[in-house]
Amino acid sequence: MNLEMISVSNLMNPKVQTVNEDKNIMSACKIMHENDIGCVIVVTIAGDGSPVGIITERDVVRILGKQSPSLLHFALWKLMSKPLITIENTSSINEAIKIMNNKKIRRLVVVDKNHEMTGILTQKDIFKAIEKNPSLFAEFYGSNFSPRFKEIYERFSQYRFENLTPDI
């Protein structure tokens, strides 16, 4: 088994936390805190509630770092990261890694052939799968090392180190 053979649908999390686009940052932070997650998907309030953006922990830090308290009250549609980067659930993990690396992102919204959201795939999901399977580890980190993917390899190493050290 290799990264090209594993489909995104096998590793994605189908339980996606969402927040309406008219809510504020505090609403998004509350959802992230209550669910111990690093992002929420922003959905439309009108129509079918389709995904239109994402708010991540990094976005929150960026917004708070601007030192403008009024930003906390802005609607999410003004602050969210967009356009939303998606991947089809039938795509391979290898393709997901390439997209994440090229776009410099850590999460992909997974959609079906009708572009309906079916889940979310994070780098941690991929890292967990690679770590559990020695052949995937060798493929990802060993003989196929490419300088183009240096950033994602460094994050994987950091992930492995964090999971080897005991909580203090």
Which CATH number is 143's domain given? Answer: 3.10.580.10
pLDDT, tens digit, 9 for 90 and up, residues 146-161: 555 566 667 766 766 6
pTM of the predicted protein model: 0.80
> SS3 of 21, please?
coil
User: Is 36 a member of any domain?
Assistant: yes
User: Is 77 a member of any domain?
Assistant: yes
User: Is 1 a member of any domain?
Assistant: no
Which domain, by its residues, includes 49? Answer: 8-164
Decide: 11 and 89 in contact? Cβ < 8 Å: no
Residue 62's pLDDT is: 84
What does the mean pLDDT of the chain come to?
84
